[in-house]
């Protein structure tokens, strides 16, 4: 296979779904984008009904089940979009979405109704110019976060041009790229592409979305190393997903493997209220218990922030339970041993 799998029929031909399942997926394909790269489809264990890569990328009929609390725009991008391609939610940083397509489409994506072929493409030159003009006119913005879609879909030449345009804005100090590409198609991370992201005098960070250690293939580690060797700090973002990583051993293995690959765990996201994603969702109580157990299992270097995006785009909320417990007898601290220890400070 040389092209991504983008239809139920292609999934069937690859052995990832049966003929009956392909028929049942027709409504999903009509509503949401599908794409699995040859690299990722080759990593799916077709003998394992619980394969985590299949669960994340192979569509399911359950995606057509939408509950009342689910939202087409669960984190409020639209309400904070002053010009096309820009989301300005926080005073000191903006999101810039130069593309609305991805190499793969996660079945739990919170932007699943905003991305995909025919829904959105690369910003036009005029729209991109207007987006950059907006950033230039906001002196309080010190960080530009490139997201989408997946901005690593840009060619090296386009990525270089965009990097230099952002770097030329005096008040911007940090450029951060969010991508799934090292997981989806690691060969796209060429030395030429890595060089294209350099920006003299600016800090450039790269955030890699990865949810399970099985995604951290040797090729993915090599792609990350190509970026790290150029000098980019690497961080990760993960989503807590039922049936993928909703146990402490799996989370611990992932976070420790990320650190070993020079990728600093940054965020563990509670799943957003995206439409048709209820089968991935864990409860907040389950998430808090898992995070507390993870906190007791790994070093601080391997511990991400556990957060929930408040629907509507207000901000992220810290979802972790505190180890500081105030009670009738005074203040105590929860220890790794699970006990409360009196604290008089």
Catalytic pick from 77, 272, 281, 291?
272
Catalytic pick from 43, 55, 93, 281?
93
Q: Is 221 within 8 Å of 249 (Cβ atoms)?
A: no
Q: Is 158 within 8 Å of 166 (Cβ atoms)?
A: no
Is there a catalytic annotation at residue 272?
yes
Specify the DSSP element, H or E, that contains 12: helix 8-13
C-alpha dihedral sign at 112, 128, 117, 192: negative
Nearest to 183 by CA among 248, 255, 121, 103: 103
Catalytic pick from 102, 180, 281, 306?
102
Instruction: Output the DSSP codes for 178-240.
Output: EE-HHHH-GGG--HHHHHHT--TTSEEEEEEE--SGGG--HHHHHHHHHHHHHT--EEEEEE-
Is there a catalytic annotation at residue 106?
yes
Is there a catalytic annotation at residue 331?
no
Is there a catalytic annotation at residue 291?
no
Catalytic pick from 90, 136, 142, 331?
90
Is there a catalytic annotation at residue 3?
no
Alpha carbon 42 to its chain centroid, in Å, reads 21
Structure tokens at 61: 């009929």
Structure tokens at 299: 């070093």
Given 3-state DSSP classes, what are the helix, strand and coil percentages for the chain, each rounded to the nearest 5?
35, 20, 45
Nearest to 16 by CA among 71, 51, 58: 58
Q: Is 248 within 8 Å of 302 (Cβ atoms)?
A: no
Catalytic pick from 43, 55, 97, 111?
111
Q: How many Cβ atoms sit within 10 Å of the Cβ of residue 283?
A: 10
Is there a catalytic annotation at residue 150?
no
Structure tokens at 89: 């939610």
Q: How many Cβ atoms sit within 10 Å of the Cβ of residue 288?
A: 16
Is there a catalytic annotation at residue 111?
yes
Catalytic pick from 262, 295, 316, 334?
316
Cα distance between the two ends of the chain: 63
Cα–Cα distance measured from residue 115 to residue 85, given in angstroms and rounded to the nearest whole number: 12
Is there a catalytic annotation at residue 105?
no
C-alpha dihedral sign at 133, 135, 139, 142: negative
Catalytic pick from 109, 180, 221, 267?
109
- Active-site residue set: 89-90, 93, 102, 106, 109, 111, 272, 309, 316
């Amino acid at each position: 296979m040389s092209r991504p799998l983008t239809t139920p029929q292609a999934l069937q031909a690859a052995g990832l779904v049966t003929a009956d399942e392909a028929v049942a997926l027709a409504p999903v394909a009509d509503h949401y984008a599908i794409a699995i790269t040859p690299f990722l489809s080759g990593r799916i264990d077709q003998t394992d009904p619980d394969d985590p890569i299949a669960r994340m990328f192979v569509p399911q009929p359950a995606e057509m089940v939408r509950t009342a609390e689910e939202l087409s725009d669960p984190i409020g991008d639209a309400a904070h979009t002053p010009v096309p391609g820009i989301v300005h939610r926080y005073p000191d940083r903006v999101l810039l979405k130069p593309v609305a397509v991805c190499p793969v489409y996660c079945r739990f994506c919170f932007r699943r109704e905003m991305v995909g072929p025919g829904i959105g493409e690369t910003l036009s030159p005029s729209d991109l110019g207007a987006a950059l003009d907006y950033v230039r006119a906001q002196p309080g913005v010190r960080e530009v976060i490139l997201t989408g879609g997946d901005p690593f879909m840009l060619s090296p030449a386009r990525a270089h041009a965009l990097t230099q345009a952002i770097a030329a804005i005096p008040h911007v100090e940090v450029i951060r790229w969010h991508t799934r590409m090292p997981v989806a198609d690691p060969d796209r991370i060429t030395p030429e592409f890595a060089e294209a992201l350099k920006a003299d005098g600016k800090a450039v960070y790269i955030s890699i979305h990865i949810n399970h250690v099985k995604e951290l293939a040797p090729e993915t580690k090599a792609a990350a190393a190509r970026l790290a060797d150029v000098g980019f700090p690497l961080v990760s973002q993960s989503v807590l997903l039922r049936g993928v990583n909703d146990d402490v051993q799996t989370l611990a293995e992932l976070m420790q493997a990320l650190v070993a690959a020079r990728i600093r765990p940054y965020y563990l996201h509670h799943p957003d209220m995206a439409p048709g994603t209820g089968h991935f969702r864990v409860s907040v109580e389950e998430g808090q218990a898992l995070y507390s157990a993870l906190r007791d299992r790994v070093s601080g270097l391997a511990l991400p922030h556990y957060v929930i995006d408040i629907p509507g785009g207000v901000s992220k909320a810290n979802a972790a339970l505190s180890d500081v417990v105030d009670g009738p007898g005074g203040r105590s601290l929860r220890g790794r041993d699970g006990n409360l220890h009196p604290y008089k400070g």
